[in-house]
Amino acid sequence: MDMIGLENSFGVASLVGALAILIGVKGAKPHELITLLVGLILMAIAAMTAATFSNFAEIAKSLGAKRLIAEYVVDDSLRINNLWVLIYPAFVGAIGVNLVSSWFQTSKPREEKESIEMLVLRQITGARNSSPAGSDKGGSTTSSVPRRPRLNVRATLVRKR
C-alpha cells in the first residue's frame, strides 16, 4: 500500500466510525448526557485525526527526502493529505461542537412545576370568573366547567337564508 492509499483508507475508516457514532445516538434529546459525551468524543476524534494526518505529511516528506518514494508520490500524498486535514477535522469537529453547545444551551424539562405564564393565566381567569356577573352556578367560581359559547345570531340568520 502506498502513502496515498494509506491516507485515504485511514480517512475513510475514521469517517465511517464517526458516522456510526452519530447514527447510534440519533434521536437523543439535547439535554441528555449522551449528547455531551458524543460531542466530546467527536471533538477528540477530530483532533486525533488532524494530528495523524499531520504525521502522515511528515512521514511522506521524510521518505521523499531519503529517496525511498518518488517525488510525484510525495506531491500527491501531500495534496491528498491537505484535503483530509482541512475538511475532515472541521466537519467532525463542527458536529461535535454543535452537540456540546446544544447540551449546554438546553435544560432538562420540568413537568411537575408550572410556568410563570400559566400561574398568571390561572390568576387572571380565576379573577374574571369570580365577578358577580360570571357566577351563574351559585358561587362556584373555581370550577373547571367550560362555559357555553355565545350564540352567534348573525351567523344563524345567514344560514337560514
Q: What is the pLDDT of residue 10?
A: 86
Residue (of 135, 3, 156, 155) closest to 79 by Cα position: 3
Per-residue pLDDT at 41: 94
- Over the stretch 34-49, which tens digit does the pLDDT of each residue have? 889 999 999 999 999 9
C-alpha Rg value of the chain to the nearest Å = 33
Q: Read off the pLDDT of residues 42-82 as tens digits, 9 standing for 90 and up.
A: 999 999 999 988 888 888 888 888 888 888 888 888 888 88
Res 127: pLDDT: 60
